[in-house]
């Protein structure tokens, strides 16, 4: 896990307030440092969210005695921030919840990247891959095709048969003309 996001108001959680009351910011800092250690070990295959870090290293990182680290970790269990495994290790189940969300996002991203690769490989352009709030790329392509078809029919009724390229040229000319009229109106 490369990024461990947390809510901006996480410090207002009553359990963390209790930690700060009893152990000051040292306890609060230890909580987040432990979560960082847990997060570095989390992968798609390792989802147990267990603190594997040695207490001496935590002691060094937080500049607290090992005994104090152990006392604070036990308090995390007491207030419900952590649970303790049968092996005596500390586990943060909230990270597990976040991990599930993170894994879902990762999976969606991988699926999207695979679809984009397939589209590009099958001759799709990069432009056709962008989505907007109006719809999926396929829907956008369909709308564009329909718009060109309508424009072609309009031109045929005027006695002209235009190619897609000439339609685009005609549209650019119309747009430029509109912009020039807007500039004139502003003067």
Higher per-residue confidence, 121 vs 186: 121
d(C-alpha 65, C-alpha 160), whole Å: 87
Count CB neighbours of 92 within 10 A. Answer: 21
Q: Where are the domains of the chain?
A: 10-102, 137-187
CATH code for the domain defined by 10-102: 1.10.10.10
Closest alpha carbon to 168 in 180, 146, 151:
151
pLDDT of residue 61: 87
Measure the CA–CA gap between 160 and 140, rounded to whole angstroms. 27
Residue 135 belongs to what H/E stretch?
Answer: none
pLDDT digits (tens, 9 = 90+) for 85-132: 899 899 887 777 776 777 777 778 888 887 777 777 666 655 544 554
Residue 2: predicted pLDDT: 61
Structure confidence by residue, pLDDT tens digits, 130-179: 554 445 566 666 667 777 777 776 666 555 544 555 666 667 777 777 66
> Which has more confidence, 38 or 147?
38
Q: What is the pTM of this model?
A: 0.53
- Structure tokens given for 23: 């152990």
What is the Cα–Cα distance from 73 to 66, expressed in whole angstroms?
11
Q: Can you give the pLDDT at residue 128?
A: 47
If you compute the radius of gyration of the chain from its CA atoms, what whole number of angstroms results?
29
CB 93 within 8 A of CB 80: no
Residue 164 has a pLDDT of 53
């Amino acid at each position: 896990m490369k990024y461990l996001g947390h809510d901006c108001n996480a410090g207002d959680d009553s359990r963390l307030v209790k930690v700060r009351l009893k152990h000051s910011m040292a306890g609060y800092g230890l909580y987040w440092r432990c979560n960082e250690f847990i997060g570095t070990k989390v992968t798609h295959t390792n989802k147990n969210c267990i603190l594997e870090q040695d207490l001496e290293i935590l002691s060094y990182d937080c500049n607290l005695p090992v005994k104090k680290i152990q006392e604070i970790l036990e308090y995390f269990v007491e207030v419900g921030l952590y649970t303790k495994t049968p092996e005596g290790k500390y586990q943060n189940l909230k990270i597990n919840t976040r991990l599930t969300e993170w894994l879902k996002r990762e999976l969606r991203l991988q699926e999207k990247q695979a679809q984009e690769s397939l589209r590009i490989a099958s001759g799709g352009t990069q432009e056709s891959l962008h989505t907007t709030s109006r719809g999926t790329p396929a829907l956008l392509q369909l709308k564009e095709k329909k718009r060109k078809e309508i424009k072609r029919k309009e031109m045929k009724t005027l006695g002209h048969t235009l190619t897609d390229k000439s339609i685009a040229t005609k549209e650019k000319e119309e747009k430029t003309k509109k912009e020039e009229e807007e500039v004139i109106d502003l003067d």
